[in-house]
């Protein structure tokens, strides 16, 4: 069968594959200063935000990504108090970090205010914590902000960006990671959305090497399902400045908030590496 | 964008989603006695076999499925010697079971000989062990075979079937599972491909209840990526007659064969259940 205009399709050219959702309406479309943003009503996935033709977030399945971009990371740090999010304009990552009682401040910096304005309208369930007094939401160049940030001031940096092409490209460079390294405290952890463990093994290699180049002492990959993203399987790459990932398992088991995907067992299981990744990414080999 | 005839698309109606692969050629198409079988050359996934418009197997990514349908199962049994495969006509599951030194006999019964004939031509890498003296390949009604099988004669039964609609439907019934229960030894294990842990939670519930109804004492779910199947995330459901799953971890760590996905860590991690499945399937709750 071929898929007509009643479907939104994202084709991922290098893999020769595409993922599609049946749509009932195109609710909104605009060219912001930085990118094209479309909002669709889908038949079964709720609303769908698409940026420059790439699926970003759907009502139904964003919990995989937002939970796995945050909880494995925050529960791998002894006391994550001060957090920076680069990107993350839909506010779903911000919302999850604010669930942690350790969190004292979260600064979210997305370059495009329109993403957040549209999220407030179409994904209000992700924006419930935007007015938390611990949250600061800025719209500016995140790289510049990190470059100027006070040294050794942050516990956690989360790069919740678009793909390595387009506006997000600068978030995949040595230069940016060296700014992050400097802004983090000695036991700080950087986490970045690192694409598909099936399609993007070369990118994962490059990222591991870049993290090593700028001084991080250990990297760790967490992987998880994400149906609307290419291959249906996604990952978050963590880099620890002092080389430690201290899993607070007891805290994760007794987490004082609800999740839909994450739990302490999922935390541990999401870092088990398939044979082909052990061979391709020896840097990630588990102790 | 819409996807034209240069793509093969499988739309999974209840989920309102579709997965597509770019194709360069339709190599073969036939209506066998039981189903329509198409073979495509894809741009990046090698060859693709499609049965009744559902993707079955691709050169590039079948390793996830075939390894996860067999190794977690065989390494969860103390001494899996005598194995029955119902379905599995592409011979990839047979090939993996024969890698285990414990295996003394494997009988594969697919109703449609054409699937195996086409696999020999288009997926010869899956058929390398078809002439192993421990293997018996039959083409007949698997249900009838199991019904007549000697009681307490089998260690393992693997149901490597198509979807619960069409010719595979009878492989999702109480009647069939009771035949399996009778044919298994007291410490025998049944395993069945159990669809997507995201889209098919209701089916998983039904299967757990059916296994319990016919006398199995414990069930366990292993989940894993499978990019070409709906949601990109798939599962194998195990049912143990005496309620025991004895993971031979040391044997898995020292497995005398190569794998691409499976290893001892993946074995353990693939049974960690997300929060929403713990709630939906309390039968699977881990001890």
* SS3 assignment for B166-210: HHHHHHHCHHHHHHHHHHEEEEEEEEEECCCCCCCHHHHHHHHHH
Residue with the bigger pLDDT between A164 and B206: it is B206
Nearest CA in chain B to A6: B2
Kindly determine whether residue A7 and residue B3, on different chains, have CB atoms separated by under 8 Å. Answer: yes
Q: Give the gap in angstroms from C-alpha B131 to the nearest C-alpha of chain A.
A: 28
A228, A222, A213: which is closest to A247 by C-alpha?
Answer: A222
Tokens representing B97? 């079971």
Give the C-alpha separation, B88 to A121, whole Å: 49
Of A9, A14, A43, the CB nearest to B16: A43
Q: Which of A160, A187, A202, A251 is catalytic?
A: A160
The pLDDT of residue A41: 98
Does the beta-carbon distance from B45 to A16 stay under 8 Å? yes
First to last CA, chain B: 48
Look at B272 and A268 and tell me if their CB atoms are within 8 Å. yes
pTM (two decimals): 0.96
Q: How far apart are CA B158 and CA B76, in angstroms?
A: 13
* For A265, nearest residue in chain B (alpha carbons): B272
Return the pLDDT at B171. 80
Q: Which tokens go with A268? A: 């541990």
- Asked if residues B153 and B80 have their Cβ atoms less than 8 Å apart, the reply is no
Residues of chain B neighbouring A20 (CB-CB closer than 8 A): 3, 9, 11, 17-20
Q: Determine whether the interchain pair A1/B15 forms a contact, defined as Cβ–Cβ distance below 8 Å.
A: no
d(CA A132, CA B198): 32
- Percentage of chain B beyond pLDDT 70 is 98
Q: Model confidence at B285, in pLDDT bands (50, 70, 90)?
A: low
Domains in chain A: boundaries: 7-58, 62-284
Q: What confidence tens digit (pLDDT) does each residue in B222-239 have?
A: 999 999 999 999 999 999
**Taking CA atoms, what residue in A is nearest to B21?**
A17
- Residue whose C-alpha is closest to residue A107's, from A63, A154, A151: A154
Asked if A62 has any chain B CB less than 8 Å from its own CB, the reply is no
Q: Which residue numbers of B are catalytic?
A: 160
Provide the shortest C-alpha distance from residue B226 to chain A (in Å).
8
CB B241 within 8 A of CB B189: yes
Q: Which residues of A touch B18 (CB under 8 A)?
A: 3, 7, 9, 18-22
Q: What is the nearest CA distance from A37 to chain B, expressed in angstroms? A: 15
Segment A92-109, tens digit of pLDDT:
999 999 999 999 999 999
Length of chain B measured in residues:
287
Say what the pLDDT of residue B21 is: 97
Residue B187 to residue A70: CA distance in whole angstroms: 42
How much is the mean pLDDT over chain A? 95
pLDDT of residue A1: 63
A62-284 is classed CATH 3.40.720.10: no
Residue B188, marked binder? no
**Using the beta-carbon criterion (under 8 Å), do B276 and A263 form an inter-chain contact?**
no
Low-confidence ranges of chain A (pLDDT < 70): 1, 167, 285-287
Instruction: Show Cβ contacts of residue A79 under 8 Å, excluding neighbours closer than 6 positions.
Output: A102, A155
Contact A263/B269, CB-based, under 8 Å? Answer: no
Question: For the range A251-258, what are the long-range contacts, defined as Cβ-Cβ under 8 Å and sequence gap of 24 or more?
Answer: A251/A75, A252/A71, A252/A75, A255/A71, A255/A75, A255/A99, A256/A99, A256/A101, A257/A99, A257/A100, A258/B275
- Cβ contact, residue pair B286, A265, below 8 Å: yes
Q: Which residue of B has its CA nearest to A225?
A: B233
A17 within 8 A of B44, measured Cβ to Cβ: yes
Give the pLDDT of residue A165. 72
> Is B163 one of the annotated binding-site residues?
yes
Name the packing angle between helices A201-213 and A174-183 (round to 10°).
50
Length of chain A: 287
Enter the tokens of residue A112.
């495009």
The residue with tokens 């491909």 is B193
The reported pLDDT for the residue numbered A161 is: 87
For all residues of chain B together, what is the average pLDDT? 95
Q: What is the mean pLDDT of residues B119-138?
A: 98
- DSSP conformation letters of chain B: --B-TTEEEEEEGGGTEEEEEEEEEEEEEEE-SS-EEEEEEESSS-EEEEETTEEEEETTTHHHHHHHTTHHHHTTSS---EEEEEE-TTSHHHHHHTTSTT--EEEEE-S-HHHHHHHHHH-GGG-TTTT-TTEEEE-S-HHHHHHHSPTT-EEEEEEE---SSGGGGGGGSHHHHHHHHHHEEEEEEEEEE---TTT-HHHHHHHHHHHHHTT--EEEEEEEE-TTSGGGEEEEEEEESSS-----HHHHHT-SS--SS--HHHHHHTTPPPHHHHHH-GGG---
B202 known member of a binding site: no
Mark whether A4 is an active-site residue. no
Instruction: Band the pLDDT of B287: cuts 50, 70, 90.
Output: very low
B198 with A3: Cβ contact below 8 A: no
Strand pairing report for B184-193 and B154-160: parallel
Q: How far is B266 from chain A (nearest CA, A)?
A: 6
**Residues of chain B contacting A52 with CB distance shorter than 8 Å:** none
Please give the average per-residue pLDDT across B34-50, as a whole number. Answer: 97
Is pLDDT above 60 for B32? Answer: yes
Residue B3 has pLDDT above 90, yes or no: no
**ipTM attached to this prediction:** 0.95
Q: Annotated binding residue at B90?
A: yes
Q: What's the CA gap between A76 and B76, in Å, rounded?
A: 31
Q: Which CATH superfamily is domain A7-58 in?
A: Spermidine synthase, tetramerisation domain (2.30.140.10)
CB B91 within 8 A of CB B65: no
The set of residues, in sequence order, having a beta carbon less than 8 Å from that of A148 and lying 6+ positions away, is none
Q: Are A240 and A199 in contact (CB under 8 A)?
A: no
Q: Looking at chain A, which residue has its C-alpha nearest residue B17?
A: A21
Ligand-binding annotation for B141, yes or no, is: yes
CA distance B159 to B168: 10
Inspect the interface and report whether the beta carbons of B269 and A269 lie closer than 8 Å.
Answer: yes
């Amino acid at each position: 069968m071929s898929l007509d205009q009643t479907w939104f399709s994202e084709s991922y050219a290098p893999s020769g594959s595409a993922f599609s959702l049946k749509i009932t309406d195109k609710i909104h479309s605009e060219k912001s200063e930085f990118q094209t943003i479309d909002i669709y009503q889908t038949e079964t996935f709720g609303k769908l935000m698409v940026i420059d033709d790439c699926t970003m977030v759907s009502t139904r399945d964003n919990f995989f990504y937002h939970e796995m971009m945050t909880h494995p990371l925050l529960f791998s740090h002894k006391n994550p108090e001060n957090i920076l999010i680069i990107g993350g304009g839909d506010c779903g990552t911000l919302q999850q970090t604010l669930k942690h009682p350790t969190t004292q401040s979260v600064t979210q910096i997305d370059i495009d205010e329109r993403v957040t304005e549209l999220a407030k309208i179409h994904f209000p369930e992700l924006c419930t914590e935007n007015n938390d007094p611990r949250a600061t939401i800025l719209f500016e160049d995140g790289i510049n902000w990190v470059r100027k940030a006070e040294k050794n001031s942050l516990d956690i940096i989360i790069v919740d960006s678009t793909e390595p092409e387009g506006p997000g490209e600068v978030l995949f460079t040595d230069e940016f990671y060296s700014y992050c390294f400097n802004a983090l405290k000695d036991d700080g952890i950087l986490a970045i959305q690192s694409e598909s463990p099936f399609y993007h093994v070369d990118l994962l290699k490059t990222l591991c090497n870049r993290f090593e180049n700028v001084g991080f002492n250990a990297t760790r990959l967490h992987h998880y399902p994400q149906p609307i993203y290419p291959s249906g399987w996604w990952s978050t790459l963590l880099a620890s400045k002092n080389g430690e990932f201290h899993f607070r398992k007891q805290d994760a088991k007794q987490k004082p908030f609800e999740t839909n995907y994450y739990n302490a067992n999922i935390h541990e299981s999401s870092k088990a590496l398939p044979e082909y990744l052990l061979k391709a990414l020896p840097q990630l080999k588990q102790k």
